[in-house]
Amino acid sequence: MMEYVRAFLAGGLLCALAQLAIDRGKWTPAGVASALVILGVLLGFSGVYDRFAAWAGAGATMPLSGFGYFLAKGVIVEPRPDGLVETGAAVFRFAGALFAFIVAGSFFAALICKPKG
């Protein structure tokens, strides 16, 4: 039961901070999304996000910072990618399933919700 509470608190705190940056900090939603992904990459490379994800579970991996963490994790797990192309392949080898799920989920959500934009 405590895993759910920690995931709810961690994910809620990340999302609340992002919303505050949009509302009070005058950031654009795209700027906050980019900042969260970059923050996840930086914290993933430093090893801090590993401990946070172990404690918070899905509350750390589901927000956009978790996506950045998975991108960084792909480069860390790969033995030694040589060059830019192999580094990019290493990133998507690890996070490819997550990326495919996000794209497919967005597509089906658009079909169901019928966006006006």
> What's the start-to-end Cα distance of the chain, in Å?
40
DSSP-based three-state secondary structure for 81: coil
pTM recorded for the entire structure: 0.76
pLDDT tens over the chain, length 117 residues: 899 999 999 999 999 999 999 999 889 999 999 999 999 999 998 989 999 999 999 888 888 888 888 888 877 777 676 777 777 777 777 777 777 888 898 899 888 987 776
pLDDT of residue 110: 87
Task: Judge contact between 61 and 69, C-beta under 8 A.
Answer: yes
